[in-house]
Amino acid sequence: MKDQTLKPQPRAGIMRIALYQGGKSSLAGRSDVLKLSSNENPAGAPPAARAAIAEAAASVHRYPSTDHAALRQAIAETHGLDPERIICGAGSDEVLQFAAQCFAGEGDEIIHTEHGFSMYPILAHMAGATPVKVRERERTVDVDAILGAVTERTRIVFIANPGNPTGTMIGEAALERLADGLPGDVILVLDGAYVEYADGYEGGVGLASSRHNVLMTRTFSKIYGLGGLRVGWGYGAAEMIGAMTRIRQPFNLSTVQLAAAEAAVRDGDWVETCVRVNSEQGARLTAALGELGISCDESHANFVLARFAHEAEAVEADEALQEAGIIARRVGGYGFPEGLRITVGNAEETGRVIAALEAWREGKS
């Protein structure tokens, strides 16, 4: 008889992983739901990408490209980069995972910040490493606090700039100070999921081009409206990208993903138009929150973090929004029990959010 007390045991750290909580997408009994919980593009995907998806259907019996050459070339041309230093993944999440698994393991530390993206500690545990949380200052990444937390075990520092769910960012001088202050064998990952929305910011291209230990990541999930398709990419030194490519599965991106992303990245007008709508509606929403006495930092992304007086008020506002068919994101898990993260929609959608919050405030007074 087999010993029934013996069971397969996951590797150390695996069971410490908190399951990722995605944004809610439906409300019971409602068909007019406005989903503003996952920072998706209200305009959807660019028409050129949709057409490419339809066209790619004819060749899905063929295995996809393993080297992603056409997509890397399109990205390189659009952003003025070296295609040899680009790696593509199933969302930028997969690129972040390549970095963690390639460069950190048991006994190593991975730094993330207090209100940083919830995937960072998950990725650290996946690699068997220890996530180290560093405080922020006024909801903003604090370079000195990060540098002060570096030990000889530190392998990676993850920051999102602009940050999620704060929407705040640090400037290029601060980023350079952070890069310069880190030991040469510690990777600084600049997660650029929202860089297109940050007016005047080059997204970390300069540092990722000039330093051997800076990795910039970007995604097709936000401004390009392709979150459901899963495509992202990273840019860094050739040796770093070369190592990450070894743990990338050869067919990690499908023919459909590659074709859609290539069409999207070649559509320069799309980014411009979406950024314009976002900045107008983001400013409108921020101003309306201010008038309602709800705290909100200036956001450099496609969402705002509304901070209420306390948690109970955030719960109430969330319920009022849901009664109006609007789904925002509670962010207690990010250290903001009093917060609601609201994706910036188009003009009509933003009007709906403002009206619902005004009605909620009026009902209270």
Ligand X SMILES: *Cc1c(COP(=O)(O)O)cnc(C)c1O
The contact set with ligand X (CB under 6 A) reads: 39, 91-93, 117, 160, 164, 191, 193, 219, 221-222, 227, 232
Closest to ligand X by CB, 169 or 240: 169
- Cα–Cα distance for residue pair 81/195, rounded to 1 Å: 16
Closest to ligand X by CB, 216 or 288: 216
In whole angstroms, the minimum distance from the beta carbon of 77 to ligand X comes to 21
In whole angstroms, the minimum distance from the beta carbon of 166 to ligand X comes to 10
202 CB neighbour count, 10 Å cutoff? 15
User: What residue number has its CB nearest to ligand X?
Assistant: 91
Sheet strands (E) in 9-104: 34-35, 86-89
In whole angstroms, the minimum distance from the beta carbon of 91 to ligand X comes to 2
Structure token pair of residue 17: 């992983």
Burial track 219-257 (b if 16+ CB lie within 10 A, e otherwise): bbbbbbbbbebbbbbbbbbeebbeebeeebeeebbbbbb
Q: Could you tell me the end-to-end alpha-carbon distance of the chain, in angstroms, rounded to an integer?
A: 71
Closest to ligand X by CB, 93 or 142: 93
β-strand pairing of 232-235 with 86-89: antiparallel
In whole angstroms, the minimum distance from the beta carbon of 220 to ligand X comes to 7
- Measured at the CA of 269, the angle between CA 264 and CA 270, to 5 degrees, comes to 50
In whole angstroms, the minimum distance from the beta carbon of 99 to ligand X comes to 12
Closest to ligand X by CB, 64 or 91: 91
In whole angstroms, the minimum distance from the beta carbon of 162 to ligand X comes to 9
Judge whether 87 and 241 are in contact, CB under 8 Å. yes
Tokens 């207090």 sit at which residue? 114
Sheet strands (E) in 107-152: 109-113, 130-134
- Measured at the CA of 349, the angle between CA 193 and CA 199, to 5 degrees, comes to 35
Closest of 233, 232, 190 to residue 211, by C-alpha: 190
In whole angstroms, the minimum distance from the beta carbon of 363 to ligand X comes to 32
